[in-house]
Structure 1
Amino acid sequence: MRGRRPLEALNFFVADVQAGIGPFLGVFLQSAGWRTGAIGTVMTIGGVAGLLVTAPAGAVVDATRYKRLAIVVSSICTVIASCIVWYAHSFPMVVLSQVATAIAGALLGPAIAGVTLGMARARGFDRQFGRNQVANHAGNVVGAGVSGFIGWRFGFGGVFLVAAVFGVLAVVSTLLIPADAIDHRAARGLESDDGDNGDAPSGVSILVTCRPLLILAAALALFHLGNAAMLPLYGMAVVAAHQAEPSSFTALTIVVAQLVMVGTSLLAMRLIRTRGYWQVILVTFLALPLRGALAAFFINRWGVFPVQVLDGIGAGLQSVAVPALVARLMQGTGRVNVAQGAVMTMQGVGAALSPALGGWLAETIGFHGAFLCLGAVSMGSLGLWWGGRARLHEVRTGG
């Protein structure tokens, strides 16, 4: 496949760009005197802004032939928005930074998925997207490790510098992807790039009439409502207990999870082909209640290993299985990236509400109770997923 190496390099470098400074934000603001409730609130505001534009961003990706430009502009905007936090710690400026980061990041996911589908086509998408995720998680490991070391050695300013360097390299990688290697009809789930020939896209009503897609989206919303706050909250809990140095410990939480994600991403496609999408995603929903229980009772430096291994298993499998399942459900409709954006929006609903929920729970009933409550939320995901097993078992993997 032409352009495969630059595509995988893009996924490697964009890992440290896509969410801005990510989990470092919580401990950075905490060191600046912010309370957990306020930290959770600004994260939620950013998440809400992102979810409002994710589905429209998918529609833009379906319609445009300038997918590489969308990735370049989003990467640059994300780095600039993240750096605002370094210079201004006021509530309005941090909110502005998080909103801008979320909006730019909302375009990156569908754009990269669309470019991958346009290059690999439907038959090769599952395999190539799995390779993308291996590169992405490896980039998270390297980015977090370098950020943690530089943050420990030179202060939090080093974290922002690393994000900027990764942003530049993500832009370079994008520009190295040959423009003519992307089939723009295939990129939206149609069969060929024949101009006005071939099948026309389906109406957007397909998003609300495809029952398996609705079940997937709702289950993921509940999963992320419980899951998204755990990493930043766990970092704050350990630091508040004076169990670790902030920047190096935050980096450790990321590295442990991302190393596991590299392995589970490699394993995901094999499991999908042998067990099917439904069983693979079921495992991710089962991991969250156990993660919440472990986080509640092991608030110390060493607790990061079991807590983040479970995060790596769940997120690593989902990062491959969910986009692959959406592409399979929407194949032939011409609405693949709108659907990817719609599912990301539902994930974003849960993820946006999670930091505020976790932050206020931690202030009200303490970190222990907050982790148990967040883990219990995922029981709704399990109920929905089990109820939809008959329909989802019918979805076949690609050849």
Structure 2
Amino acid sequence: MALNARAERTLDALSFFISDARYGLGAFLGVYLLTEHGWDAGSIGAALSIGGLTGLVSQAPMGSLVDAVRAKRALIAGAVCLVTATCLVIPLFPQFWPVALAGVVGALAGVTIGPTLSAISLGIVGPERFARRAGRNEALFHLGDGTICLAILVTAPFFGSPVLFWSMGFTMVASVVAAAAVPARAIDHSVARGLHSGEVAAPGRSAWALLLESRPLLAFAMCGALFHLANASMLGLVSQKLALGNLGQGITLTAASAIAAQAVMVPVAALAGARADLWGRRPLLLAAFAALALRGVLYTLSDNAAWLIAVQLLDGVGAGLIGALFPVVVADLTRGSGHFAAAQGVVGTVHGVGGVLSAGIAGQMVVWVGYDTTFLALAGVAALGGLLFWRIMPETRGMNPP
């Protein structure tokens, strides 16, 4: 009991500090390249898309690696170091191909972080307590991300863009220390990959076969793709509107938008983890679709910076619920398969297709029909995804997959 309590405390620290490495520089990278090195929007999009596509196609094989590797603490620490290193090299070589190559390497490492953290958590607490633990992980992740964004918001006006890289160096060291502090004996490696304690995985079955054979898992993947098709481009579009209307404040307002969402994601993710076993997964995920659709509509009502940032609070509801419940639903539907992390990878790949299409389609729509019509179209996609989810997705709480 004392060992598990210590393991959960270290998981708390790891979930908090790992936030800066999980998605690298995120929305800040494009602003940094634009303002500090004079890149144009086309070059930024092309360079970042290479890493994005790499991350998309590598999720399933990297998930299989997470399932197979028992040294999961070393895997997550190494991934954090690699993501951070690729970000820190960008100021030294801010040319197209070095940035693109750094994005490829960073993407390969970055897609392992979430599944590895989930697997370690499942191996420590077991399936009965996993929903609460996953919600706590997600809440602490957003708390860490929001704290970093707040630090950037406060310090960037005085020290400029270098604070982006100082913060990554600090959180890398803290994440590695936290990963090393997780007691190795507390992790049941069979449970961590979705098996029963002491069970050995049967060879030969792939995670893609698992996805195609499970109608609920396939429904979750397809509905999630519609969610990300509507959601992925919204923050970027809002950041563009804020930057165009408030020249010279791009990084500051991007940080403010992120903080607004993170402030809501923390309690929402914690609530999802605490109530998912009582209320079920389905109503909480339907609420995520509803919040996303409403957010898209509200963006069209005003161009005022305060209003746009306030509407961004709804991002905390949608993303907080989806982020907390994603590994929980996958764990529900893959129990006994031995492919928990790999299944997160294949479902994440399908979700990621929606995200990639979102960026391309929304960007072109803004050129042709403007921001407001684009936001309304994205809201329509979210509403369609919610309706489809309501019709075809069953409740997975207590489900015993074949």
Q: TM-score, normalised by structure 1?
A: 0.92
Taking a change above 3 Å as real, the CA distance of residues 378 and 37 of structure 1, as seen in their structure-2 partners, is: farther
1:328 alignment partner in structure 2: 332
Equivalent residue for 2:74, pick from 69, 74, 87: 69
Are the aligned partners of 1:116 and 1:125 in contact in 2 as well (CA < 8 Å)? yes
2:44 equivalent to 1:39: yes
1:14 alignment partner in structure 2: 18
Q: Which runs of 5+ in 1 are unaligned?
A: none
In the TM superposition, what is the alpha-carbon distance from 1:45 to its structure 2 partner?
2.7
Supply the AA of the counterpart residue of 2:385. S
Taking a change above 3 Å as real, the CA distance of residues 20 and 6 of structure 1, as seen in their structure-2 partners, is: same
In the TM superposition, what is the alpha-carbon distance from 1:38 to its structure 2 partner?
4.1
2:188 alignment partner in structure 1: 183
Taking a change above 3 Å as real, the CA distance of residues 37 and 282 of structure 1, as seen in their structure-2 partners, is: farther
Supply the AA of the counterpart residue of 2:240. M
Are the aligned partners of 2:135 and 2:274 in contact in 1 as well (CA < 8 Å)? no
Taking a change above 3 Å as real, the CA distance of residues 198 and 24 of structure 1, as seen in their structure-2 partners, is: closer
Equivalent residue for 1:259, pick from 256, 263, 272: 263
The one-character-per-residue Cα deviations of 1:173-211 (angstroms, maximum 9, x if unpaired) are 101111121111010111113xxx567468222221111
Taking a change above 3 Å as real, the CA distance of residues 330 and 148 of structure 1, as seen in their structure-2 partners, is: same
Are the aligned partners of 2:131 and 2:277 in contact in 1 as well (CA < 8 Å)? no
**Distance in 1, Cα, partners of 2:88 & 2:292:** 32
Equivalent residue for 1:58, pick from 52, 57, 63: 63
Supply the AA of the counterpart residue of 2:232. A
**Distance in 2, Cα, partners of 1:111 & 1:117:** 10
**Distance in 1, Cα, partners of 2:374 & 2:42:** 12
Taking a change above 3 Å as real, the CA distance of residues 46 and 307 of structure 1, as seen in their structure-2 partners, is: farther
In the TM superposition, what is the alpha-carbon distance from 1:346 to its structure 2 partner?
1.6
2:374 alignment partner in structure 1: 370
**Distance in 1, Cα, partners of 2:287 & 2:248:** 31
Q: Secondary structure at the match of 2:81?
A: helix
1:340 alignment partner in structure 2: 344
1:92 alignment partner in structure 2: 97
In the TM superposition, what is the alpha-carbon distance from 1:358 to its structure 2 partner?
2.7
1:304 alignment partner in structure 2: 308
Equivalent residue for 1:203, pick from 190, 205, 214: 205
1:172 alignment partner in structure 2: 177
Taking a change above 3 Å as real, the CA distance of residues 198 and 22 of structure 1, as seen in their structure-2 partners, is: closer
Q: Secondary structure at the match of 2:91?
A: helix
Taking a change above 3 Å as real, the CA distance of residues 66 and 80 of structure 1, as seen in their structure-2 partners, is: same
Equivalent residue for 2:291, pick from 281, 287, 293: 287
2:253 alignment partner in structure 1: 249
In the TM superposition, what is the alpha-carbon distance from 1:349 to its structure 2 partner?
1.5
In the TM superposition, what is the alpha-carbon distance from 1:380 to its structure 2 partner?
3.6
The one-character-per-residue Cα deviations of 1:84-136 (angstroms, maximum 9, x if unpaired) are 33233333233222222221111111111111111111112111111111211
**Distance in 1, Cα, partners of 2:246 & 2:149:** 21
Are the aligned partners of 2:136 and 2:273 in contact in 1 as well (CA < 8 Å)? no
Q: In terms of mean alpha carbon deviation, does 299-308 or 57-66 score higher? A: 299-308
| Residues 18-29 of structure 1 mapped to structure 2, 5 A cutoff | 18-29=22-33
Q: Which runs of 5+ in 2 are unaligned?
A: none
Aligned Cα RMSD in Å? 2.1
Q: Secondary structure at the match of 1:89?
A: coil
In the TM superposition, what is the alpha-carbon distance from 1:274 to its structure 2 partner?
3.4
Identity, % of aligned positions:
36
Supply the AA of the counterpart residue of 1:203. R
Supply the AA of the counterpart residue of 1:98. G
**Distance in 2, Cα, partners of 1:290 & 1:157:** 36
The one-character-per-residue Cα deviations of 1:237-265 (angstroms, maximum 9, x if unpaired) are 11111267222211111111111011101
Q: Secondary structure at the match of 2:30?
A: helix
In the TM superposition, what is the alpha-carbon distance from 1:394 to its structure 2 partner?
5.7
Are the aligned partners of 1:47 and 1:351 in contact in 2 as well (CA < 8 Å)? no
The one-character-per-residue Cα deviations of 1:150-188 (angstroms, maximum 9, x if unpaired) are 222111111111112111111111011111211110101
The one-character-per-residue Cα deviations of 1:289-344 (angstroms, maximum 9, x if unpaired) are 22122223333320234321110000111111121111011111111111111111
In the TM superposition, what is the alpha-carbon distance from 1:345 to its structure 2 partner?
1.3
Are the aligned partners of 1:277 and 1:321 in contact in 2 as well (CA < 8 Å)? yes
| Residues 90-129 of structure 1 mapped to structure 2, 5 A cutoff | 90-129=95-134
**Distance in 2, Cα, partners of 1:397 & 1:167:** 38
2:395 equivalent to 1:393: yes
1:214 alignment partner in structure 2: 218
Q: In terms of mean alpha carbon deviation, does 85-94 or 227-236 score higher? A: 85-94
In the TM superposition, what is the alpha-carbon distance from 1:364 to its structure 2 partner?
3.2
**Distance in 1, Cα, partners of 2:363 & 2:43:** 8
**Distance in 1, Cα, partners of 2:397 & 2:204:** 19
**Distance in 2, Cα, partners of 1:369 & 1:201:** 50
Are the aligned partners of 1:81 and 1:97 in contact in 2 as well (CA < 8 Å)? yes
Equivalent residue for 1:349, pick from 353, 359, 365: 353
The one-character-per-residue Cα deviations of 1:22-69 (angstroms, maximum 9, x if unpaired) are 121232233243444443443333221101111111111111111111
